[in-house]
């Protein structure tokens, strides 16, 4: 727990008023389980004196009283003309900080830095290692580590629009600081290094190869060879402020950095007409995930409500589709922090051994010294098992659930969480349909469209390569009218 004197210091300054996000800048902007509650009364508090602050930023923090030392830290960056308070109020990060146990830092820029209060993702004097706003954000992280006891191995950064562009720059410049990131309606790292080039990045970044995009990351911290941050990419298919081509460039950039291909290891359909594509690393763990939200415009995906995996509230550029904060947190493993991680090691080998239309069976390797195991479904504890296996019942048909497991010693102290697995119950809606054809044929059939000589899958906006009769892809359609590249395999009848 934090010393009371520090809590009083953090709560001494009132939070700023909210204001809406503006898409700008010739540059920007089922079964019942536990759901996040409204943020605790402590609220958002300003922190001063966090460092030399070369970027002239303001620091705000949400630090739940129930969170002690050794917890993860999330840095959340707002969009243009938005405030830290608006992002705190609508994004859902404070809700999950309460539920899963972590601290959140909300950096804020002002009109003194940029007329529209945009983070300077497009300015090399602000977005590169050791300089400007990027350096100020890292000073906030160091302050949190020293003051709150945040775990330096579990620091994550996320941002919307201009904040998303700065997120990508921070991940590239400081892979030694951030274990993961999430870019929402944002841009690839170092897409622009001057304000004049920013508008071109928004409407369509350069047609670079994955290796060329990856070089922009590798050049941001020369000599660094890994480990690299795990990156989530969120994009609406109807975003005409930051075009979907940016999500493709981000995917190309970070898969190349990880040394993996641009064909997803698997895809799945989520609520809110969202398609998740997962790109595994060499060990089979997700390194990059893309979330394409069909029909969503420019903004952060939220899903107000009290159900499992719901969060946030709607406002300008906070769009009611799906809770991106929940899925991002699960991707980073924040849902597995309640067990601590100082006890027994994480159970290995977690796998789905069978499903029915209402159940999912799991098994994992036994952990030496474990007296019991806690099973988590979609981030909430659902059972305690004494053996390294469990069958979850009462599930909805045709629905995907994500599971993780922790081991506890005889005293009840839980250890680190396992990796997650997804179990999809049988039944439900009809399976997706797959089509294998040339890019030319996909466009002719209405499954894709063209732009700048390339073909892009309708719905997901994924870049399929050159528009011609020589490049062939398999497209998976689910839901109707939404297509994703499924070259690695598609569980449906092909046409």
Enzyme catalytic residues: 161
Cα of 411 vs its chain's centroid, Å: 35
Whether the CA torsion 11, 16, 18, 24 is positive or negative: it is negative
Measured CA angle at 153 (ends 147, 158), to 5 deg: 85
Cα of 84 vs its chain's centroid, Å: 19
Backbone angles phi, psi at 74, to 5 degrees: -115, 135
Report the distance separating Cα 208 and Cα 202, nearest Å.
15
- Burial of 354 by CB count in 10 Å (0-12 exposed, 13-18 middle, 19+ buried)? exposed
Write the DSSP assignment of 470-483 as a string of letters.
S-EEEEEE-STT-E
Say if residues 428 and 399 touch (Cβ distance below 8 Å): yes
Report the distance separating Cα 353 and Cα 348, nearest Å.
15
Say if residues 377 and 408 touch (Cβ distance below 8 Å): no
Find, among 383, 390, 420, 389, the residue nearest to 404 by Cα.
Answer: 420
Cα of 153 vs its chain's centroid, Å: 17
448-451 β-sheet, strand order: 448-451, 454-457, 463-466
Detail the DSSP E strand segments found in 294-358. 300-302, 318-320, 351-355
Write the DSSP assignment of 230-274 as a string of letters.
EEEEEEETT-SSS-THHHHHHHHHHHHHHT--SS-SEEEEETTTE
Distances (CA, A) of 87 to 12, 41, 43, 274, 457: 20, 17, 13, 22, 31
Say if residues 116 and 81 touch (Cβ distance below 8 Å): yes
- Residues near 319 by Cβ (< 8 Å), separated by ≥ 6? 236, 296, 297, 299, 300, 301, 302
433-438 β-sheet, strand order: 433-438, 472-477, 483-485
Helices (H), 283-408: 324-332
Tokens of 248: 């493709």
């Amino acid at each position: 727990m934090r010393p009371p004197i520090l809590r009083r210091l953090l709560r001494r300054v009132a939070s700023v008023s909210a204001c809406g996000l503006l898409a700008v800048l010739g540059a920007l902007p089922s079964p019942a389980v536990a759901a996040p509650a409204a943020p605790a009364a402590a609220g958002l508090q300003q922190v001063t004196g966090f460092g030399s602050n070369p970027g002239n930023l303001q620091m705000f923090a949400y630090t739940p009283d129930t969170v002690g030392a050794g917890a993860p830290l999330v840095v959340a960056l707002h969009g243009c003309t938005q405030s830290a308070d608006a992002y705190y109020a609508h994004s859902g990060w404070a809700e999950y900080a309460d539920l899963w146990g972590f601290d959140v830092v909300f950096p804020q820029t002002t009109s003194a830095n940029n007329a529209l209060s945009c983070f300077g993702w497009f300015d090399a004097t602000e977005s590169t290692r050791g300089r400007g706003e990027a350096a100020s954000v890292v000073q906030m992280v160091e302050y949190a580590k020293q003051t709150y006891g945040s775990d330096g191995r579990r620091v994550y950064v996320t941002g919307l629009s201009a904040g998303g562009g700065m997120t990508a720059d921070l991940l590239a410049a400081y892979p030694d600081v951030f274990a993961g990131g999430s870019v929402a309606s944002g841009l690839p790292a170092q897409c622009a290094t001057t304000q004049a080039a920013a508008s071109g990045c928004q409407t369509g970044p350069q047609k670079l190869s994955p290796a060329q995009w990856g070089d922009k990351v590798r050049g941001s911290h020369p000599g660094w060879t890994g480990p690299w941050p795990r990156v989530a990419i969120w994009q609406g298919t109807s975003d005409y402020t930051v075009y979907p081509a940016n999500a493709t460039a981000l995917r190309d950039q970070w898969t190349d950095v990880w040394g993996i291909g641009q064909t997803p290891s698997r895809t799945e359909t989520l609520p809110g007409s969202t398609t998740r594509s997962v790109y595994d690393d060499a060990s089979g763990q997700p390194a990059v995930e893309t979330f394409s939200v069909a029909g969503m415009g420019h903004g952060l995906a939220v899903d107000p409500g009290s159900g499992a995996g719901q969060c946030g509230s709607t406002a300008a550029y906070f769009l009611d589709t799906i809770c991106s904060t929940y899925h991002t947190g699960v991707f980073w493993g924040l849902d597995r922090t309640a067990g601590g991680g100082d006890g027994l090691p994480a159970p290995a080998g977690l796998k789905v051994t069978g499903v029915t239309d209402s159940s999912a069976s799991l098994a994992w390797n036994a952990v030496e010294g474990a007296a019991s195991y806690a099973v988590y479904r979609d981030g909430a504890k659902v059972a305690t098992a004494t053996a390294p296996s469990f069958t979850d019942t009462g599930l909805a048909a045709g629905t995907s659930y994500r599971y993780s497991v922790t081991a506890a010693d005889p005293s009840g102290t839980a250890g680190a969480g396992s990796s997650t697995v997804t179990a999809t119950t049988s039944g439900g809606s009809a399976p997706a349909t797959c089509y294998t054809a040339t890019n030319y044929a996909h466009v002719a059939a209405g499954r894709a469209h063209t732009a700048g000589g390339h073909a892009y899958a309708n719905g997901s906006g994924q870049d399929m390569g050159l528009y011609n009769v020589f490049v062939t892809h398999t497209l998976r359609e689910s839901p109707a009218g939404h297509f994703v590249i499924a070259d690695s395999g598609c569980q449906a009848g092909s046409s």
